[in-house]
Amino acid sequence: MPLVAHIPLPTFEYLHKRGENVLELGQALQQDIRELHVGFLNMMPDSALVVTERQFMRLVGSSNQIAQLFVHPFTIPGLPRGAEAQAYIDKYYLPFEQLKSEGLDALIISGANVANPILEQEPFWKALFEIIDWAAEHVTSVLCSCLATHALAKAIHGIDRKRLPEKRWGVYPHRIAPIDHPLLRDINTRFDVPHSRYNGVSRAQMEAAGMKILADSAQSGVHLAVSPDQFRVVYFQGHPEYDRNSLLKEYKREVSRFVAGERDDYPTHVENYFSPEAAEIVDAYEAIVHACLKQKSTVPPFPEKQIEPFLDNTWLDTGKSIVNNWLGMVYRLTHTDRTISFAEGVDPNNPLGIKTEN
């Protein structure tokens, strides 16, 4: 069912032009279809603010639930912003106080860039903790991405994420757990997910806190997990929202840092991402960079457009399916007045009645 363009957010027009189902507010108000209101807390830095907004809007908009989907973007203080990004936020994003007053059915929290080894030292931590605390009582379910997963694991379960030996950077195969969970309904038993992170929360840490692991990888660790009650919090450590070229842009940024002398080593290939044709272009450009730096000549632009046609997206369909299933859980457990619905005899610690195989 459609996203509803209820505010003049440019992302709605962007998605509409690319074939996504976006409904004008006037049309939506004429239809007798249930609404779901999803908050989107965007904590990404300026350079990724709008792109991340579009990526998560696309995931939500692909849902097949019989509902009109209102997505309410907002952010929090404590995140450094340039003038252009702040102007965009002031124009299109909503105050959290307004969303608290009006209510939300569900909440998505994006990742963020951090500067401190301990999350509690981040300037946005207090504001984020207040939102987490509010959501625990007023939102049916929270879906977290990457850094947000680590933040909620810390805030709710006291789990400290651990620094990885090296950056986990690539596209990795994952398998689902042998559990009958609504999030896993009708998805591939094996699927890819991009990861891009220096830190992680391990399977052992999650299981010790009572979390349920739904999908993990021998190479990249846990991607998908849920809170002990099976639905209140959904944790992503990977990035199923990524575009085909998202990791390429990250690689380009690291190459630029090397050229500028901001890092000593040339970045290695993003794991399991470059096709043979793409790798050939990437390696040829690396040789050119080294030659130009040695000769102290101008380094030519990174060949992004030449590489892109040789990249594959092997994760988006499964990501859409999982988010669709998540919205289905929210739809099932939320009244139209946005209070959680528990039928008589339903166990509040396992409201979905999930059975785990022994």
> Using one digit for the tens of pLDDT, what is the confidence trace for 181-236?
999 999 999 999 999 999 999 999 999 999 999 999 999 999 999 999 999 999 99
Helices 246-259, 276-295: axis angle to 10 degrees equals 20
Angle between helical axes of 125-138 and 147-157 (0-180°, round to 10): 70
Mean pLDDT computed over 64-69? 84
Q: Identify the three-state secondary structure at position 23.
A: strand
The mean per-residue pLDDT over the stretch 332-353 comes to 56
> Which residues, at least 6 apart from 339, have a Cβ–Cβ distance to it below 8 Å?
none
Q: Where are the beta strands (DSSP E) in 132-257?
A: 141-145, 162-176, 190-200, 212-217, 221-226, 233-236
pLDDT given at position 238: 97
At residue 239, what are phi and psi to the nearest 5 degrees? -130, 75
More reliable by pLDDT, 59 or 337: 59
356: its two tokens: 């785990």
Q: What values do phi and psi take at 230, rounded to 5? A: 85, -5
pLDDT in tens, 71-102: 999 999 999 999 999 999 999 999 999 999 99
Q: Answer yes or no: is pLDDT of 354 > 80.
A: no
Question: Among the listed ranges 48-57, 103-112, 241-250, 343-352, which one has the minimum average pLDDT value?
Answer: 343-352
Q: Which two tokens stand for residue 62?
A: 């692909």
pLDDT at 285 over 70: yes
Q: Which helix (H) or strand (E) holds 156?
A: helix 147-157
Instruction: Give CA–CA dist 125/151, Å, rounded.
Output: 8
Please name which of 178, 180, 195 lies closest in space to residue 241, comparing C-alpha atoms. Answer: 195
pLDDT classification of 343: cutoffs 50, 70, 90: very low
Q: Is the pLDDT of residue 26 over 90?
A: no
Max intra-chain CA distance, the chain: 76
Q: CB under 8 Å to 74, separation ≥6 — which residues? A: 39, 40, 41, 42, 93, 94, 95, 96, 99
Residue 118 scores a pLDDT above 60:
yes
Kindly state the average pLDDT of the residues 46-54.
Answer: 96
Q: Check whether 32 has a pLDDT greater than 80.
A: no
Could you give the CA distance from residue 67 to residue 20 in angstroms, rounded to a whole number? 15
Residue type, 324: N
| Residue appearing with tokens 């209102």 | 70
Rounded to an integer, what distance in angstroms lies between the CA atom of residue 135 and that of residue 138? 5
Q: What is the pLDDT at residue 347?
A: 57
Mean pLDDT of 265-293: 98
Q: How confident is the model at residue 29 (pLDDT cuts 50, 70, 90)?
A: low
**Is the pLDDT reported for residue 139 higher than 80?**
yes
Residue given tokens 């195989």 in the structure block: 357
User: Mean pLDDT across the chain, nearest whole number?
Assistant: 91
- Range(s) of the chain covered by CATH 3.40.50.880: 3-243+313-333
Task: For residue 112, give Cα distances in angstroms to 50, 81, 102, 105, 256.
Answer: 13, 13, 26, 23, 21
Bridge partners for 194 per DSSP: 171
pLDDT higher than 70, residue 1: no
How high is the pLDDT of residue 337? 54
Q: Is residue 350 over pLDDT 90? A: no
**Mean pLDDT of the region 127-140:** 94
In the chain, the amino acid numbered 302 is F
Active site residues: 146, 239, 241
- pLDDT at position 275: 98
**Please, are residues 24 and 5 in contact by the beta-carbon 8 Å criterion?**
yes
- Residue 10's pLDDT band, with cuts at 50, 70 and 90, is very high
Decide the pairing of beta strands 68-74 and 106-109: unpaired
Q: Are 354 and 181 a contacting pair, CB within 8 Å?
A: yes
Does the pLDDT of residue 264 top 70, yes or no?
yes
Distance CA 91, CA 89 (A): 5
Task: Give the Cα separation of 278 and 275 in Å (integer).
Answer: 5
| Dist. CA 1–CA 338, nearest whole Å | 19
- Distance between CA atoms of residues 125 and 123, nearest Å: 6
**Of 59 and 117, which is predicted with more confidence?**
59
What percentage of the chain reaches a pLDDT higher than 90? 78
CATH architecture, domain 3-243+313-333: 3-Layer(aba) Sandwich (3.40)
- Assess whether pLDDT exceeds 90 at residue 333: no
